[in-house]
Structure 1
Amino acid sequence: MSTQTFRTDQTYLVTGAAGFIGYYLSKKLLDQGCTVIGIDNLNAYYDVNLKYTRLEGLEPYENFTFVKADISDKAAIEDLFAHYRPSVVVNLAAQAGVRYSIENPDVYMQSNVTGFYNILEACRHYPVDHLIYASSSSVYGANKKVPFEETDFVDHPVSLYASTKRSNELMAHTYSHLYKIPATGLRFFTVYGPMGRPDMAYYGFTDKYFAGEAIKIFNNGDFENDLYRDFTYIDDIVEGIEKLIPRTPEGEVQHEIFNIGNNSPEKLMHFIQSLEKALSNALGREVEFKKEFEPIKPGDVPRTYASTDRLHQAVGFKPETSIEEGLQQFADWYVQYYKLSEGTKEEQVTNS
Structure 2
Amino acid sequence: MKYLVTGAAGFIGHFVAQRLCEQGHSVVGLDNLNDYYEVSLKHARLANLDKFVESGLFTFVKMDLADRAGIATLFSDEKFDRVIHLAAQAGVRYSIENPMAYADSNLIGHLTILEGCRHNNVQHLIYASSSSVYGLNSKVPFATSDTVDHPVSLYAATKKSNELMAHSYSHLYNIPTTGLRFFTVYGSWGRPDMAPYIFTKKILNGDTIDINNNGDMWRDFTHVNDIVEGVIRIADVIPQRNDKWKVESGSPATSSAPYSIYNIGHGSPIRLMDFVKAIEDELGIEAKKNFREMQAGDVYQTYADTQDLFKVTNYTPKITVKEGVAEFVTWFKDFYKI
Q: TM-score, normalised by structure 1?
A: 0.90
Corresponding residue number in structure 2 for 1:298? 296
Q: Distance between the aligned counterparts of 2:206 and 2:229, measured in 1?
A: 37
Which amino acid in the other structure matches residue 89 of structure 1? V
- Cα distance in structure 2, aligned partners of 1:265 and 1:126: 40
SS at structure 2 position matched to 1:164: helix
CA apart distance, 1:208: 1.2
Shift, 1:207, TM fit:
1.4
Whole-angstrom distance in 1 between the partners of 2:199 and 2:225 = 22
- Secondary structure at the aligned position of 1:86 is classed as coil
What do residues 289-319 of structure 1 show as CA deviations (whole Å, max 9, x unaligned)?
1000111111000100000111111222111
Q: 1:26 aligns with which of 7, 14, 17?
A: 17
SS of equivalent residue, structure 1 residue 53: helix
Shift of residue 115 of structure 1? Answer: 0.2
Q: 1:320 deviation in Å?
A: 2.2
Tell me by how many angstroms 1:33 deviates.
1.3
Q: Match of 2:140?
A: 146
Question: Which consecutive unaligned segments of at least 5 residues does structure 1 have?
Answer: 1-9, 280-285, 341-352
Say whether the 8 Å CA contact 1:142–1:302 is kept in structure 2. Answer: no
Give the 3-state SS of the residue equivalent to 2:213 in structure 1.
coil
Residue of 73, 84, 87 corresponding to 2:78: 84
Q: Which of 173, 178, 182 is the aligned partner of 2:172? A: 178
Matches within 5 A, 1:86-165: 86-165=80-159
**8 Å Cα contact 1:85-1:126 kept in structure 2:** yes
* Aligned amino acid, residue 184 of structure 1: T
Cα distance in 2 for residues equivalent to 1:66 and 1:179: 29
Q: Distance in 2 between matches of 1:35 and 1:261?
A: 27
**Residue 259 of structure 2 is aligned to residue 255 of structure 1:** yes
C-alpha distance in 1 between matches for 2:18 and 2:207: 35
1:253-311: CA deviation from partner (whole Å, max 9, x where unpaired): 000000001001010000000111122xxxxxx21110001111110001000001111
Partner amino acid for 1:153?
T
State the aligned residue count: 321
In 1, the alpha carbon distance for the partners of 2:282 and 2:2 equals: 39
**Match of residue 305, structure 2, among 301, 307, 315:** 307
TM-score, normalising length: structure 2: 0.94
CA distance in 1 between partners of 2:266 and 2:281 (Å) = 21
Q: Which structure 2 residues correspond to residues 47-86 of structure 1 after superposition, within 5 A?
A: 47-61=38-52, 62-86=56-80
- Contact 1:13–1:88 (CA under 8 A) maintained in structure 2: yes
Partner of 2:246: none
Alignment partner, residue 231 of structure 2: 241
Query: Alpha-carbon deviation of 1:59?
Result: 2.2
Deviations 1:54-75 (A, max 9, x none): 0001122121100000111111
Q: Distance in 2 between matches of 1:181 and 1:278?
A: 46
Structure 1 runs (4+) greater than 6 angstroms displaced: none
Q: 1:272 aligns with which of 269, 273, 276?
A: 276
Take 1:92 and 1:259, find their aligned partners in 2: how far apart are those partners? 15
SS in 2 for 1:75: helix
Aligned residue identity for 2:221: F
Cα distance in structure 2, aligned partners of 1:12 and 1:31: 13
> Is the partner of 2:290 in helix, strand or coil?
strand
CA distance in 2, matches of 1:45, 1:115: 16
CA root-mean-square deviation: 0.8
1:32 shift after superposition:
1.4
Match runs of 1:191-340 below 5 Å:
191-221=185-215, 226-251=216-241, 252-279=256-283, 286-340=284-338
User: Shift in Å at residue 321 of structure 1?
Assistant: 1.0
For 2:25 and 2:239, the matched residues in 1 are separated by: 22
The Cα shift of 1:219 comes to 1.5
Gaps of 5+ in 2: 242-255
